């Protein structure tokens, strides 16, 4: 065991894992996080708390994770390199681990241009792969980037992202290999709608034997409306929404039911792809649907570890 | 090497000049002339604008290269007219502004009329692109001569982020993804395996993060020989 978190145990024992995402509030209301934690508690193995997602300032991921932890819900702390230099990063990691938050997902972060402070200075002192490497070194060698010793244990289950829908496509398996080499223990991917492309990527991943070195959780986003489908197709960087999905949403009598059906079909296909060890549900603004989604996907009950 | 500049909004310039009645104007015959931001015609244009705004221009000149030490002598030659002015408006890059301020005989405000953007590569006449961050520890040898620090919007050192799509950066369809370019060049040269190496964390202490940088060429040459 790297850190002995519940998420690690679920994955290591060979269960098909389910994680979900909870966005923290643009303010100080702890109830927002607590409600999401309560809702998701029995339907997933861990809950990701986003870190100023889409570069919009929100309650910090660390605080959100602590609120979940206090409720007995397993958190995954997302951490972007956009907002912190190496001093702040390592300090926050020590803080998280000390508070019992040991699942950490390493990300570059959406560019500040997309957020509510577009004139901010992007930090990018280190990149996401160097962040993975930093966490591995902190955990395995108990050393900071500078080489000095860290006192105490630093258990971390290291997560990273992968986006098989970005370009250059042929490079995407190499990029995963790099993240594995840097020290990633689990991967949560960008949302899958183009299952064929995802399957081609997984094939390259298996050819390199990466599926045996890292746990891959395929990302899904349930779509609530035809407008949301079009928006994601046209404006969300790094996501591919095929026209067929948009058409189905437009023609549906009940958009919500159709959106749910689409995501359930995708999950059914993902479960059949060798090397996929779980799903990561990013129900942005539609967290209420997660229990029904997990239930209907045949992923209940969740393992008790 | 060209320092690329852009004129500040006239409103901002007039804000600086609010308390000044007489203004001395300085342009630069090198980069600012090339950028059409501080050459002779722009300086004369500014002169007319200031006059129209009720200001008096005590004089003007175009220093051949405002960033070099000869600026000192140019300022000496124009000392009388500069003395008569309440301030100097420099239509030069930021280096020129500081050079002028450093060598002015009497304490007088020197206001910039331009924003200094970057050291640019001229891709075609009049088209400049920022291709170097001047970071102090060049990585081009490992990135197929494309600088990811300045050409990747996130300064990533280990490959493209998830926002690279069809060769473009997520930030704008007008920005080519630096890592797509690097990938293609390395592929063409049969060097793709180099992308598997993890680039270590960068030493920013040799960049501006380490404090202002200085170099003494003579001393460096002496120590080498």
Write down the ipTM of this complex: 0.94
Q: Give domain limits for chain B.
A: 2-118, 131-203
Shortest Cα distance from B192 to chain A (angstroms)?
A: 9
Question: What average pLDDT does range A287-299 have in this prediction?
Answer: 97
Report chain A residues whose CB lies below 8 A from the CB of B159: 129, 171, 174-175, 178
pLDDT score recorded for residue B126: 86
In angstroms, the CA B5 to CA B18 distance is 23
Q: Do A124 and B199 touch (CB under 8 A)?
A: no
> CA nearest A90: which of A32, A24, A137, A43?
A137
Question: Residue for token digits 């009497």?
Answer: B106
> Which two structure tokens, joined as six digits, stand for B186?
């390395």
Q: Do A111 and B163 touch (CB under 8 A)?
A: yes
Give the CATH number of domain A6-296; options: 3.30.450.70, 3.20.20.220, 3.40.50.150, 1.10.10.10. Answer: 3.20.20.220
Question: CB–CB of B177/B167 below 8 Å?
Answer: yes
Q: Give domain limits for chain A.
A: 6-296
Q: What is the pLDDT of residues B33-48, one digit of tens each?
A: 999 999 999 999 999 9
Instruction: Identify the CATH class of B2-118.
Output: alpha beta
pLDDT score recorded for residue B71: 97
Q: What is the pLDDT of residues B107-141, one digit of tens each?
A: 899 999 999 999 989 889 889 999 999 999 999 99
A87 pLDDT higher than 70: yes
For residue B27, list its beta bridge partners: B62, B91
In angstroms, the CA A199 to CA A31 distance is 39
pLDDT score recorded for residue B225: 65
Report chain A residues whose CB lies below 8 A from the CB of B157: 127, 129-130
Question: What average pLDDT does range A246-252 have in this prediction?
Answer: 97
Optimal mutation site among B143, B158, B178, interface A, most CBs of chain A within 10 A: B158
Q: Tell me, what DSSP letter sits at residue B163? A: T
Report chain A residues whose CB lies below 8 A from the CB of B155: 122, 124, 127
What residues 162-191 of chain B have any CB closer than 8 A to a CB of chain A? 162-167, 170-171, 177, 180, 183-184
Query: How buried is residue B176: exposed, middle or buried, by Cβ count under 10 Å (0-12/13-18/19+)?
Result: middle
Average pLDDT, chain A: 97
For residue A76, list its beta bridge partners: A48, A103
pLDDT score recorded for residue B1: 62
The four Cα atoms A95, A110, A281, A35 give a dihedral, to 10 degrees, of 60
- Which residues lie below 8 Å from residue B93, measured CB to CB, with a gap of 6+? B3, B5, B28, B31, B32, B66, B67, B114, B116
Shortest Cα distance from B201 to chain A (angstroms)?
A: 6
CB of B204 within 8 Å of a chain A CB? The answer is: yes
Report chain A residues whose CB lies below 8 A from the CB of B153: 111, 113, 122
In angstroms, the CA B216 to CA B212 distance is 14
pLDDT score recorded for residue A305: 84
């Amino acid at each position: 065991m790297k850190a002995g978190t519940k998420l690690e145990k679920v994955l290591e024992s060979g269960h098909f894992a389910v994680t979900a995402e909870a966005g923290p509030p643009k303010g100080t209301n702890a109830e927002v996080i607590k409600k999401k934690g309560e809702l998701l508690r029995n339907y997933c193995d861990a809950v990701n708390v986003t870190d100023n997602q889409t570069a919009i300032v929100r309650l910090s991921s660390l605080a959100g994770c602590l609120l979940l932890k206090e409720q007995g819900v397993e958190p995954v702390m997302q951490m972007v390199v956009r907002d912190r230099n190496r001093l702040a990063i390592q300090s926050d990691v020590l803080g998280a681990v000390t508070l019992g938050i040991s699942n950490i997902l390493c990300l570059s972060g959406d560019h500040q241009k997309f957020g509510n402070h577009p004139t901010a200075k992007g930090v990018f002192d280190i990149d996401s792969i160097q962040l993975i490497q930093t966490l591995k070194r902190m955990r395995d060698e108990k050393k900071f980037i500078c080489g000095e010793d860290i006192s105490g244990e630093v258990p971390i289950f290291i997560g990273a992202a992968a986006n098989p829908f970005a370009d250059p496509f042929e490079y995407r398996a190499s990029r995963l290999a790099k993240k594995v080499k840097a020290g990633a223990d689990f991967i949560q991917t960008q949302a899958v709608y183009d299952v064929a492309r995802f399957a081609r990527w997984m094939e390259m991943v298996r050819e390199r034997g990466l599926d045996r070195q890292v746990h891959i959780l395929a990302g899904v986003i349930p779509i609530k409306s035809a407008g949301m489908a079009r928006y994601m197709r046209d404006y969300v960087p790094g996501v591919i929404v095929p026209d067929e999905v948009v058409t189905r949403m437009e023609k549906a009598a009940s958009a919500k039911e159709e959106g749910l059906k689409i995501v359930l079909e995708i999950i059914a296909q993902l479960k059949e792809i060798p090397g996929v060890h779980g799903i990561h549900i990013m129900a942005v603004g539609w967290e209420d649907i997660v229990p029904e989604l997990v239930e209907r996907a045949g992923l209940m009950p969740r393992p008790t570890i | 090497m060209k320092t690329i500049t852009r004129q500040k909004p006239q409103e901002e310039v007039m804000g600086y000049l609010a308390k000044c009645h007489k203004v001395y104007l300085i342009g630069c015959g090198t980069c600012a002339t090339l950028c059409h931001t501080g050459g002779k015609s722009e300086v004369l244009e500014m002169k007319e604008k200031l006059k129209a705004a009720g200001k008096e221009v005590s004089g003007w000149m175009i220093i051949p290269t405002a960033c070099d030490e000869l600026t000192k002598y140019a300022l000496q030659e124009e000392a009388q007219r500069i003395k008569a002015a309440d301030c100097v408006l420099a239509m030069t890059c930021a280096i020129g502004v500081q050079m002028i301020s450093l060598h002015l005989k009497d304490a007088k405000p020197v206001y910039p009329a331009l924003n200094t953007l970057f050291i640019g590569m001229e891709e075609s006449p009049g088209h400049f692109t920022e291709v170097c961050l001047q970071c102090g520890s060049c990585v081009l040898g490992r990135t197929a001569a494309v600088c990811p620090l300045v050409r990747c919007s996130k300064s990533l050192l280990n490959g493209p982020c998830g926002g690279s799509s069809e060769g473009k950066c997520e930030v704008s369809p007008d920005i080519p993804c630096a890592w797509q370019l690097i990938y293609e060049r390395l592929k063409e040269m049969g060097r793709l395996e180099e992308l598997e190496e993890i680039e270590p964390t960068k030493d920013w202490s040799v960049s501006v993060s380490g404090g202002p940088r200085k170099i003494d060429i003579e001393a460096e040459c002496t120590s080498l020989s």
